[in-house]
Chain A
Amino acid sequence: MNGLTHVLTQVLVALFQVAAVAVGGPLLLGLMRKVRSRLEGRAGAPIHQPLLDLRKLFAKQRMRPRDSSWVFGAGPVVLVATVVAVTAVSPLVSASPPLGQSSDFFAVVFVLLLGSVLLALSALDTGTAFGGMGSSRSMTIGALCEPALLVAILAMAIAARTSNLPALVRVGISHPAVIASPARILALASFLVVILAESGRLPVDNPSTHLELTMIHEAMVLEYSGADLGLIILGESMRLVFLLGLFVNLFVPWGVADRPGVLFVGLGLLALVAKVCAVGATIAVFEVFTAKLRLFRLPELLAGGFVLALLGALTAVVR
Chain B
Amino acid sequence: MLAFVLLLIPAATGCVAAATPWRRWIGWLCTASLGFVLVTGVVLAVLVVHRPALSAFGGVLRVDALSAFMVIVIGAIGLLAVCQSVRYLEREVSSGRSSARRATLYSVLVQGFITAMLLAVVAGNVGVMWVAVEATTIITTFLVGYRRTREALEASWKYVIICSVGIALAFLGTVLVYLAALHAGGVTHVSLQWTSLMSVAHHLDPGVMRLALALLVLGYGTKVGLAPMHSWLPDAHSQAPAPVSALMSGVLLTVAFYVLLRFKAVADGALGVGFSRMLFVTAGLLSLAVAASLLLSQRDYKRMLAYHSVEHMGLIALGAAAGTPLAIAAVLLHVLGHGLAKAVLFLASGEILIVEGTTEIDQVKALLARRPALGGVFAFGLVTLLGLPPFSLFISELNMLRAEVHVGLGWVAAISLVLMAVIFGSVMSHGRHMLFGARPDGEVAHKSPLNVSVPLIGGLVACGAIGVLAWPLDTLLRAAAMVVVK
Direct A–B contact present (CB less than 8 angstroms): no
